[in-house]
């Protein structure tokens, strides 16, 4: 195994689960999250010597996932229907079993795609406003607006759920 392959394999082994959760939070579907992560890792492998040298491997993969998700939503043939055959596909768990976490993930799914991306990158991943803006390719003020609207919507949804 070459040094390139060993470094990439080590990165994937250590960050795969975290990146898969981020992909799920970006798109809201586990099957799409797996596809999104696979696409991102394939593109990262091609650029691995450069991104490893820069030292921003995880940020690069996150940015690929965000952009690939945006590209997927722009495709005219994309359908919102569930893939597979009804009754034959096993249901995918919505969370690790903690009720509060499941409620939060459901509330996140109700947000619009760009608002959800901004909230996930800003508060779940912990990026700054500037880093979030750079990854989404939007202005910092837009990130602040999306996050403010997203958090307000989450508060409303979670308050209604508690009542």
In percent, the amount of the chain with pLDDT more than 90 equals 46
Which residues contact residue 34 at a Cβ distance below 8 angstroms, ignoring those fewer than 6 apart? 20, 23
- Residue 41 in contact with residue 31, Cβ under 8 Å? no
> According to the model, what pLDDT value does residue 158 have?
84
> How confident is the model over 104-125, as pLDDT tens digits?
888 888 999 999 999 999 988 8
> How confident is the model over 31-81, as pLDDT tens digits?
989 999 999 999 999 989 888 888 889 999 999 999 988 888 777 655 555
Mean pLDDT of the chain, nearest integer: 84
Question: So where are the chain's domains?
Answer: 1-92, 98-163
* Alpha-carbon span 72 to 62, nearest angstrom: 15
> According to the model, what pLDDT value does residue 55 have?
81
- Residue 136 in contact with residue 114, Cβ under 8 Å? yes
For the chain, how many helices (H) and strands (E)?
8, 0
Question: Which of residues 134 and 56 earns the better pLDDT score?
Answer: 134
- Give the confidence band of 90 by pLDDT, cuts at 50, 70, 90: low
CATH of domain 98-163: 1.10.10.10
- pTM greater than 0.85: no
> According to the model, what pLDDT value does residue 77 have?
59
Fold of 1-92: Rna Polymerase Sigma Factor; Chain: A (1.10.1740)
């Amino acid at each position: 195994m070459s040094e390139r392959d060993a470094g990439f394999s080590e990165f994937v082994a250590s960050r795969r689960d975290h990146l898969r959760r981020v992909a799920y939070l970006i798109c809201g579907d586990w099957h799409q999250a797996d596809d999104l992560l696979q696409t991102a890792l394939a593109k990262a492998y091609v650029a691995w010597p450069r991104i490893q040298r820069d030292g921003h491997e995880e940020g690069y993969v996150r940015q690929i996932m965000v952009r690939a998700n945006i590209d997927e939503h722009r495709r005219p043939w994309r359908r919102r229907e569930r893939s597979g055959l009804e009754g034959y596909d096993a249901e995918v768990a919505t969370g690790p079993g903690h009720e509060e976490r499941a409620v939060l993930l459901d509330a996140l799914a109700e947000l619009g795609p760009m608002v959800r991306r901004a909230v996930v990158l800003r508060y779940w991943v912990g990026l700054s406003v500037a880093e979030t803006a750079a990854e989404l390719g939007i202005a910092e003020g837009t990130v602040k607006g999306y996050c403010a609207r997203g958090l307000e919507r989450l508060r409303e949804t979670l308050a209604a759920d508690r009542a």
